């Protein structure tokens, strides 16, 4: 959270998205790959909203 300068709300949103990605992959646990994808997708969301 500190390195990416995320608020608690942002962190929660990323975790929810990572859980969804893990569910779609039929994974019981959230893996590093799921978190990385969620972070990258949230980053894209920021870019789109800035326009």
- Answer yes or no: is 22 within a domain: yes
The rounded distance, in Å, linking the Cα atoms of 50 and 10 is 16
Task: Return the pLDDT at 2.
Answer: 85
Task: Return the pLDDT at 1.
Answer: 79
- Answer yes or no: is 26 within a domain: yes
Residue with tokens 């942002």: 10
Residues of the chain under the 70 pLDDT cut: 44-51
Number of separate domains in the chain: 1
Query: What letter would DSSP give residue 1?
Result: -
Task: Return the pLDDT at 27.
Answer: 97
**What pTM was estimated for this model as a whole?**
0.80
- Answer yes or no: is 2 within a domain: no
The rounded distance, in Å, linking the Cα atoms of 29 and 38 is 14
The rounded distance, in Å, linking the Cα atoms of 14 and 51 is 21
Task: Return the pLDDT at 47.
Answer: 52
Task: Return the pLDDT at 48.
Answer: 53
Residue-number span of the structural domain to which 13 is assigned:
8-50
The rounded distance, in Å, linking the Cα atoms of 6 and 47 is 16
């Amino acid at each position: 959270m500190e390195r990416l300068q995320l608020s608690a709300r942002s962190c929660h949103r990323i975790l929810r998205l990572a859980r969804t990605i893990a569910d779609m992959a039929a994974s019981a646990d959230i893996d590093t790959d799921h978190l990385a994808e969620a972070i990258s997708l949230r980053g894209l969301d920021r870019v789109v909203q800035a326009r």
